[in-house]
A = this chain, B = another copy of it.
Amino acid sequence: MSFEFIENGTVTSVPGFLATGVTAGFKRSGAPDFAMVFSEEKETNFAGVFTSCTFAAAPVRLCQQRVRESKFMRAVIINSGNANACTGEPGLNAARQSCAITAAALGIAPEEVCVASTGRIGVQMNMELIERGVALAVPALSNNGGTLASEAIITTDTVPKAAAAKVNINGKTVTIGAMTKGAGMIDPKLTTPHATMICIITTDAKIANADLLKLLDRNAQDSFNRITVDGDMSTNDTVLVLANGRSGVEIPPGSDAEKLFADTLLAVMQNLARRMVKDGEGATKFVEIKIVNARSVEDAKLAAEAIGNSALCKTAWFGNDPNWGRVVAALGYSGAKLDPEKCDIYFGDIPVVKNGGDAGTLEKDLLATVKADEFTITCDFNDGDCEYWVWTSDFSYEYVKINADYHT
């Protein structure tokens, strides 16, 4: 039996999780900017993957410590409007103190609280705003507050992004809920101990921290690490998963249960990853870049990422220009090993390059494909059996506008 998505699913679609979103005052706009997710279960396992940025932000460094040292995780707070990055020791103290304030208000230990931040880099946290956020959020926590939480964590996103799915494992229902934010500075390279994407995942599966981390890490490689909006990785990328065990369904490593759980988790993460790209800053198009029959996965990855991050390809897509020459140029500088004379390229199902040269397709026959909101470019290297894909967006006037004007 396979998983199915829950309509309007959120982090609170999972039994035992409460959440909310409030206005603490981080955003000048007065929009909601502080979210809290809380697990009613004392023994809530957890795992996290974070940015690989050398300048990882204070909250990231604190969460990494939690992953190493804490046994259980009861609450996550997320503020949007200040990244608490490049804030040195005061920033780290602010992150620690944010956890302490939250813990005191919830009656749990500070080690059982994680914090994630997004917004302007290099600004010290205003602790009064954290205090206000916590004071407003704790009484507002509710088992249908997931939507409010997902609204409070966004920055340049135009829509909140949440999802949930359930799967029958050993006769019982396991639910996975998640919310994410991120529209710019998106090219996550998440690693075990690593997007400013932030994703909070909840589940009622019963799974050990180490096993959960392994699944999270593997699935991040096949979801958030496959997306790019601008090629800029953030200082604050954070993906956290909390597993409260309330379903009573154990997920032992190597079991069929684990496979079902992992597949469902991946589906939820890919659903959100895809929506992040669609909501990418200024994005008008969703483009899947697929490299097939490459000599190695690494070659396929180099090629897919070069095309996915090419300013010339992205502006051509914005212009509905089926300019495959720019795709070829990106392949050519990607560093991927390939034989140009064996290389075929397709826009959708339509061949544009055959054996490294023009396939003879008329530009007018490509227009319907490139004018669509969503299409796939496939590069067949005909030179092996390895593949890789990425999801990317186009580059529009709006992208420039958003980022030339951005001040949180």
Interface 9-mer from A68-76, A238-246, A313-321? A313-321
CA distance A120 to B321 in the complex (A): 12
379-408 of chain A: CB within 8 A of chain B: 395-397, 399-407
Q: Is the CB of B121 within 8 A of A326?
A: yes
- Which of chain B's residues have a CB closer than 8 A to the CB of A396? 400, 404
Interface 9-mer from A29-37, A107-115, A228-236? A228-236
Q: Is the CB of B329 within 8 A of A233?
A: yes
Q: Is the CB of A122 within 8 A of B88?
A: no
- Which of chain B's residues have a CB closer than 8 A to the CB of A235? 325, 328-329, 332
CA distance A231 to B314 in the complex (A): 12
Given contacts A123-B358, A397-B401, A404-B316, contact A331 B55 (CB under 8 A): yes
Closest to A395 in B: B400
54-103 of chain A: CB within 8 A of chain B: 54-56, 83, 85-88, 91
Q: Is the CB of B316 within 8 A of A122?
A: no
- Which of chain B's residues have a CB closer than 8 A to the CB of A355? 88
CA distance A318 to B321 in the complex (A): 25
Q: Is the CB of A319 within 8 A of B357?
A: no
Copies in the complex: 2
Q: Is the CB of B400 within 8 A of A323?
A: no
- Which of chain B's residues have a CB closer than 8 A to the CB of A56? 332
User: Secondary structure of the A side of the interface?
Assistant: loop
How many chain A residues sit at the interface, stated as a range, is 35 or more
231-267 of chain A: CB within 8 A of chain B: 231-235
Minimum Cβ distance to chain B for residue A124 (Å)? 8
Closest to A329 in B: B235
A: which residues have CB within 8 A of B? Answer: 51-56, 83, 85-88, 91, 120-124, 184-185, 187, 189, 230-235, 309-312, 315-316, 318-319, 321, 323-326, 328-334, 336, 338, 340-341, 353, 355-358, 395-397, 399-407
Q: Known contacts A86-B357, A87-B358, A231-B310; can you find 7 more A-B pairs with CB under 8 A?
A: A51-B332, A54-B340, A55-B331, A85-B329, A88-B341, A233-B332, A395-B400
Query: Would you give 22 A-B contacts (Cβ < 8 Å), ordered by A?
Result: A54-B331, A55-B340, A85-B329, A86-B325, A86-B340, A86-B358, A88-B356, A91-B357, A120-B325, A123-B358, A189-B333, A231-B309, A231-B311, A232-B310, A232-B311, A233-B332, A235-B332, A315-B399, A321-B407, A395-B400, A396-B400, A399-B400
